[in-house]
Amino acid sequence: MLTHLVGARLPATPLKKDSDIILGETVIAIGHPYGYTDTVSAGIVSSLDREIDLPTGGKLQKLIQTNAAINPGNSGGPLLNINGELIGINSAIRQDAQGIAFSIHCMTVNEVLDDIRKNAK
């Protein structure tokens, strides 16, 4: 475990601009699928600007599609490029397929966080 880092001030992970993400770029997904801690998988950016329908009736838009193994428990984990830059947040998989997973662009996440900060009371 990384208990020696508790309380340590670590540098922030740099964010990669949407326009700088390249099809075929190598990516790394980090998470805790099925309770297996500290799991890393690699893949490529398969497509950009994907849209998926949610079971609740909503939509997720402007997604990064990857073939990096993202399983239940990886959601919320980072999708990094090989330079360690954050490009997305792992968010969904296509359950009836293999190797189709989606991440929310980090800049979209950043915009939402900015809105929350501005409107927080």
**Tokens 């009736």 — which residue?**
57
Residue 60 pairs with which residues in a beta bridge?
Answer: 52
pLDDT in tens, 7-48: 777 777 777 777 789 999 999 999 887 877 878 899 999 999
Sequence ranges of the domains in the chain: 13-119
DSSP string, 27-68: EEEEE-GGG-SSEEEEEEEEEEEEEEE-TTS-EEEEEEEE-S
Cα separation, 94 vs 100, in Å, equals: 6
Cα separation, 34 vs 32, in Å, equals: 6
CATH class of 13-119: mainly beta
pLDDT in tens, 93-112: 777 777 789 999 988 888 88
Burial 50-62 (b: 16+ CB within 10 A, else e): bebeeeeeeebee
pLDDT in tens, 78-93: 999 999 999 999 988 7
Question: Residue 78: its pLDDT value, please?
Answer: 92
The whole-model pTM stands at: 0.81
